[in-house]
Amino acid sequence: MINILFVCSGNSVRSQMAEGLGRAMSDGNCEIKSAGTMPIGVHPDTVACMKEI
């Protein structure tokens, strides 16, 4: 199993999107997570953007 962690400052946009895309592209042999150094929660635009992808 491969572990991948995406980290950004707020874990509200970049790392959340990277986690979502990574999970979508994974063939199931990866555990993918995201985190922030000062997490503030998911930005609503992040969810809207990911729905378009």
What is d(CA 40, CA 52) in angstroms, rounded to the nearest whole number?
Answer: 23
pTM: 0.82
pLDDT per position as a tens digit, 34-43: 999 999 988 8
Q: Which residue has the higher pLDDT, 47 or 33?
A: 33
Q: Where are the domains of the chain?
A: 2-52
Q: Are 18 and 6 in contact, with CB atoms under 8 Å apart?
A: yes
Per DSSP, the residues of 9-52 read SSSSSHHHHHHHHHHHH--SSEEEEEEESS-----HHHHHHHHH
What is d(CA 45, CA 13) in angstroms, rounded to the nearest whole number?
Answer: 8
CATH entry 3.40.50.2300 includes domain 2-52: yes
Q: Are 23 and 15 in contact, with CB atoms under 8 Å apart?
A: no
